[in-house]
Amino acid sequence: MPARSQRKCLDLWAVPWCTQESCVCVRDEGTLAGFRFLHAADLHLGSPLHGLSLHDEAVARRFAEASRAAFTALVSRAIADKVAFVVIAGDVYDGDWRDNTIGLYFNRELARLDRADIPVFLLKGNHDAESVVTRSVTLPASVRHFATDAPSSFRLEEHKVVLHGQGFAHRAVSENLVLNYPNRLSGWFNIGVLHSALTGSPPHDNYAPATLGHLRARGYDYWALGHVHDYAVLQTRPHIVYPGNLQGRNMREQGAKGGVLVTVTDGEVTELDRVIVDRARWLELIVDVSGLTSEAVLLKLVEERVRPLGVTAAERLVALRLILIGETELHRHLVARREQMSDEMQAACQRISGDIWLEKLVLRTFAPRAASVAGNALLGVDLEALLVEVVAGRELEEKATQQLSTIRALIPGGIPEDEQDLIAALPELIAEARELLLTRAEDA
Report pLDDT digits (tens) over 166-186: 998 887 788 899 999 999 999
Strands (E) across 29-127 are located at: 35-40, 85-89, 120-123
Task: Name every residue whose Cβ is closer than 8 Å to that of residue 159 and which is 6 or more positions away in sequence.
Answer: 32, 35, 84, 189, 264
Percent of the chain's residues with pLDDT above 90: 55
Question: Could you give the residue ranges of the DSSP H alpha helices within 268-330?
Answer: 295-306, 310-313
Are the CB atoms for 207 and 196 separated by under 8 Å? yes
pLDDT digits (tens, 9 = 90+) for 336-368: 888 999 999 999 999 999 999 999 999 999 888
- Main-chain phi, psi angles of 243, to 5 degrees: -80, -15
- What pLDDT sits at residue 200? 62
Q: Which residue from 106, 44, 83, 40 is spatially nearest to 274, judged by alpha carbons? A: 40
Give the chain's mean pLDDT: 81
pLDDT digits (tens, 9 = 90+) for 270-291: 999 999 999 999 999 999 999 9
- What pLDDT sits at residue 76? 97
Cα-trace Rg, the chain? 27
Residue 59: its H or E element: helix 57-64
Over residues 117-146, the mean pLDDT reads 87
pLDDT digits (tens, 9 = 90+) for 383-430: 555 555 555 556 666 776 677 667 766 665 555 544 445 555 555 655
Cα–Cα dist 362/347, whole Å: 16
Q: Which homologous superfamily is 32-276 in? A: Metallo-dependent phosphatases (3.60.21.10)
Question: Predicted confidence band at 194 (pLDDT cuts at 50, 70, 90)?
Answer: very high
- Main-chain phi, psi angles of 164, to 5 degrees: -120, 140
Residue 87 has pLDDT above 70, yes or no: yes
Lowest mean pLDDT among 145-159, 184-198, 419-433: 419-433
Cα–Cα dist 227/438, whole Å: 46
- Model confidence, pTM: 0.78
Over residues 79-101, the mean pLDDT reads 89
- What pLDDT sits at residue 137? 83
Q: How do the residues of the chain divide into helix, strand and coil, expressed in percent and rounded to 5?
A: 35, 25, 40
3-state SS of 376-415 is CHHHCCCHHHHHHHHHHCCHHHHHHHHHHHHHHHHCCCCC
Sign of CA dihedral 173, 176, 180, 186: positive
Q: Which residue from 389, 314, 330 is spatially nearest to 363, judged by alpha carbons? A: 330
Peptide bond just before 182 cis, omega within 30 deg: no
pLDDT, greater one: 234 or 32: 234
CA 364 to chain centre: 27
Cα–Cα dist 135/104, whole Å: 11
Tell me the domain boundaries of the chain: 32-276, 280-367, 382-444
Cα–Cα dist 381/388, whole Å: 13
pLDDT digits (tens, 9 = 90+) for 16-62: 323 333 333 333 333 446 999 999 999 988 877 666 655 667 777 88
Are the CB atoms for 49 and 70 separated by under 8 Å? no
Buried b (16+ CB within 10 A) or exposed e, 323-334: ebebbbebbbbb
Peptide bond just before 2 cis, omega within 30 deg: no
